Amino acid sequence: MQHRTSFTVLIPARLASTRLPNKPLAEIDGVPMVVRVAQRVASNTARLSPMRVVVAGDSQSIIAACESYGVEAVLTRTDHRSGSDRLAEACDLLGLPDESIVVNVQGDEPLIDPELVDAVANLLLEHDQASMGTAAHAIDSLEEFLSPNVVKVVLDARGYALYFSRAPIPLARDFAGQAWWQRSVAPDASPLYAAAPLRHIGIYAYRAAYLRLFPKLAQAPLEIAEALEQLRAMWHGHRIAVHITRDNPGAGVDTPQDLERVRQLFKA
């Protein structure tokens, strides 16, 4: 059942990118990527919830590109340490009330599923103890499970995150180095199937009050060790609800090769 609540999608966009300079303005079938993201987010015609989409850019060129396509945008400072800091400033610039729900969609996700955006926003209605919401999907391959570039998450019985890690979690002691969650590996170990590993998807929902608080929280040792910002929230006692989706949302655009792949998909 879908809930009906208004929420704001904030899309942080900055020009400085080591692997793909001026990434937000890279054209995909003639349209800047950050505009493609905003258009994609707004494209769910079945959406029941009123939604506002705003780009939080660090350059006047980003703002101008968005405005030329009718996409709302606000200019934020260039010296933010993280995307969360940029979003907190955008909340203030937009005057969002503390109880507002804000969804952070990255500016390099032109293929994001708009239904996933709604599902993550609704997490904060369904989990009143959560300060944040995010998403995950089942891991298919052993290669993904073992890769430190793939962030894993484990959950409790109510769908709250217990931990995020680049390490292979949960680790089935008796099946090290194997895809233990697949029935071909452990056909008689049915309790294992309920603990199948999950890949974290980098989309977040926040209550605006928490988003304003987050940049003021001290960095956590686990956050530094894993290079995962969400561990700061958990270190300070905040809970994160997780939506499980059946679909792999696919990779974002990080490299020139990624950009060319997405361009070809849009042409097709």
The CATH number that applies at residue 19 is: 3.90.550.10
Classify residue 183 by its DSSP letter: T
pLDDT value, residue 48:
54
Average pLDDT, the chain: 90
Residue 48 in domain:
yes
The residues, ordered by sequence, that sit 6+ positions from 182 with a Cβ below 8 Å of its Cβ are none
Closest to 172 measured CA to CA, from 147, 151, 149, 154: 154
Q: What is the DSSP letter of 160?
A: B
Q: Measured between alpha carbons, how far is 249 from 265 in angstroms, rounded to an integer?
A: 14
Task: Please indicate, yes or no, if residue 267 is contained in any of the structural domains.
Answer: no
Inside any domain, residue 252: no
CA dihedral 40, 42, 43, 44 (to 10 degrees): 120
- Model confidence at 191: pLDDT above 80: no
112: helix, strand or coil: coil
Return the pLDDT at 118.
92
Domain presence at residue 84: yes
Instruction: Locate 221 and state its tokens.
Output: 């040792």
**pTM (global) more than 0.85:** yes
Distances (CA, A) of 48 to 42, 51, 144, 205, 216: 12, 9, 35, 17, 34
| Residue 245 neighbours by CB under 8 Å, 6+ apart | 113, 116, 119, 135, 136, 137, 201
Which of 82, 29, 27 lies closest to 56 in space, CA to CA? 82
| CA-wise closest residue to 59 among 100, 17, 27, 19 | 17
Q: Which residues touch 93 (CB under 8 Å, ≥6 apart)?
A: 74, 76
Q: How far is CA 55 from CA 24, 124, 133, 186, 194, in A?
A: 10, 22, 20, 47, 39
Does residue 234 lie in a domain region? yes
63: nearest Cα among 141, 129, 125, 54: 54
Lowest mean per-residue pLDDT among 78-87, 129-138, 182-191 = 182-191
User: How many domains are there within the chain?
Assistant: 1
Per-residue model confidence as pLDDT tens digits over 46-71 = 665 668 999 999 999 999 999 999 99
> Is-contact 135 203, C-beta < 8 A?
yes
- Does residue 251 sit within a domain? no
Burial class (CB in 10 A: 0-12, 13-18, 19+), 106: middle
Give the span between the Cα atoms of 242 and 113, in whole angstroms. Answer: 16
Residue 67 to residue 74: CA distance in whole angstroms: 10
The DSSP output letter for 78 is S
- The pLDDT, as a whole number, for residue 247 is 80
- Per-residue pLDDT at 170 exceeds 90: yes
Q: Which domain holds residue 95?
A: 7-246
Evaluate if residue 14 carries a pLDDT over 80: yes
